[in-house]
Amino acid sequence: MNNDPIDMGGFLLTSDAPLAGRNTLRVDARARLLAEVNDVGKLPGLLAYPAVRDGKVLVLGEGSNMLIRGDIDATVVAIANRGVETFQRDDRVLIRVAAGERWDDFVRWSLGQGYAGLENLILIPGTVGASPIQNIGAYGVEVAEFIDTVEAWDTHKGEFVLLDKAACAFSYRDSAFKRQPGRWIVVAVTFDLPRERPLSLDYAGIREEMEKMGAQRATPYHVAEAVVRLRSRKLPDPAVIGNAGSFFKNPIVGAHQADALALAHPGLPVWPHAGGTAKLSAGWLIEAAGFKGTRDGDAGMSNRHALVLVNHGKASGPQLWSFAQKVIAGVEAMFGVTLEPEPLVI
């Protein structure tokens, strides 16, 4: 039986709340308490409730980048505030976006307003508030480049704080928010988007796709269209089959190990990374280890893209997690590389 939400003015509270519709891997788990917050000004009051304050708090956006392994004995806070506003600072126009806005809606709005930069990041599921957590990236662009500041409730200090880019400490699929889980609740992100920017076309597949489209003159719209086509072809749609995008990060290894692996496996894609390290294609490793398109019951790896863990129907959190462990062990045994999950595992 589901409990009805109670409207507390600014947020809705539901006890013993079902989460199946709130995570794109469609894990059927429950939360002790769910708070859906429309007015983030009410967040401090909510967090001060004894039932909330004395337990754990977990923040949820659209649940598109998490694996819930079981029922959650905590208050799940879903940030659902809305709004996009532009304002002037010195000679720049900045865009402040509420954390609860959908990322893809914001990307399309920005392109429609004539801003450049986010075209490679179109069609990524999730909310704007989630975008800095794992520094979302695709097709050679990371969101960090365009973030000016992040507004968050700091649970350590008990106040709203404004974090600049340095404080966010962004790196590949990582940030201060991810490294200190639970510390901050993001309520808004301010973007500094250029009107003009060199297009990022170098990622494999983009130019080819634009040629196929017959795009004579490349604009951000053409790049966005090419990315939509590429993503729709390669990545399973979470509306059709439960998934959380890439389930593993592309592993970063030392130069020696990368050279040895490239020599032994000439097909393995290797990209240079910071500080003389190298990034390997986890998708290639998983496919070569034989896991692409395989499954145990309803938990499996996508047959479209080897990096995507999928729920074919009723897989539970533990079943999905144990399949992921099997993939990690298989890749480790074959290549000596340890894959790390990319989404939050709860």
* Residues engaged in binding ligand EPU (CB under 6 A): 138-139, 203-204, 234-235, 245-246, 249-250, 269, 281, 283-284, 287, 292, 305-307, 342
User: C-alpha distances in angstroms, 85 versus 131, 160, 189, 224?
Assistant: 18, 19, 11, 23
173 an active-site residue?
Answer: yes
Query: Which residue lies nearer to ligand EPU by CB, 72 or 206?
Result: 206
Q: Closest CB to ligand EPU belongs to which residue? A: 245
| CB of 327 vs ligand EPU, minimal distance in Å | 12
Q: How far is the CB of 116 from ligand EPU (least distance, A)?
A: 18
- Identify whether 209 is a catalytic site residue: no
Measured from the CB atom, the residue of 37 and 346 that comes closer to ligand EPU is: 346
Shortest distance, CB of residue 249 to ligand EPU, whole angstroms? 5
Nearest to 175 by CA among 122, 121, 136, 120: 136
Is the CB of 66 or the CB of 187 nearer to ligand EPU? 66
CA distance 329 to 315: 20
Q: What does the block give as tokens for 269? A: 């894609």
Residue of 173, 209, 281, 316 marked catalytic: 173
Query: Cα–Cα distance between 87 and 128 in angstroms, integer?
Result: 18
Measured CA to CA in angstroms, residue 150 lies from 10, 146, 202 at distances of: 21, 11, 29
| Residues 6+ positions from 61 with CB-CB distance below 8 Å | 78, 79, 99, 100, 126, 127, 129, 130
For helices 220-234 and 103-112, the axis angle rounded to 10 degrees is 150
Tokens found for residue 56: 């754990």
| Contact status, residue 56 vs residue 75, Cβ threshold 8 Å | yes
283 contacts 204 by C-beta, under 8 angstroms: no
CB-nearer residue toward ligand EPU: 30 or 222? 222
Which CB, 109 or 203, lies closer to ligand EPU? 203
Is 142 noted as a catalytic residue in this protein? no
Q: What are phi and psi of 92, to 5 degrees?
A: -115, 150
Catalytic position from the list 131, 246, 281, 316: 246
Least Å from the CB of residue 152 to ligand EPU: 22
What's the closest the beta carbon of residue 329 comes to ligand EPU, in angstroms? Answer: 19
Radius of gyration of the chain (CA): 21
Positions annotated as catalytic residues are 173, 246, 342
